[in-house]
Amino acid sequence: MENGIQFGDFPEFMDFEYLRKNTALNLSNLANLANLAKVPSMPDSVKIDVRNLSNLTHLSWRAPGSRKVKGYYVMMREKTAAFWEKKIFTNQEEITLPYSKDNYFFAVQSVSETGNESLAVVPQPDNGRK
């Protein structure tokens, strides 16, 4: 107390529910960062072949430069869907799917030996030109 003004932090002025929520949020953020540290690098040069008009879709990519991966998830969803609907595992660096590129969106993720998944990479069009 100085000149009739109270200074300092006191328990009676503390909002403990606010402190609890803030602490929980910070712990959640730390857990997410720890999980991100475990993920493999994203696949490199993900391409979708757009040269042929067919009901097949050919995707190709290169292995990430760092960390060994067990394989890849090819994810797909209809163009009207908000979430990825199907995941197909492969240990190859290319895949041909019996789904039309006109009706679906695709993406590729790397999968580590421990099952952690990288961020998804949406393929770029490959029309055969350099």
In tens digits, the chain (130 residues) has pLDDT values of: 788 887 777 887 788 999 999 999 999 999 888 888 888 889 999 999 998 788 899 999 999 887 789 999 999 999 999 999 999 999 999 999 999 999 999 999 999 988 889 999 999 998 766 5
Q: Is 84 a member of any domain?
A: yes
As for how many domains the chain has, the answer is: 1
Query: Which CATH number goes with the domain that contains 67?
Result: 2.60.40.10
What are the Cα distances from residue 98, in Å, to 53, 56, 58, 66? 13, 5, 9, 31
Q: Is 20 a member of any domain?
A: no
Which residues constitute the domain of residue 55? 41-126
Q: Is 2 a member of any domain?
A: no
Pairing of strands 44-49, 86-90: unpaired
Q: Is 3 a member of any domain?
A: no
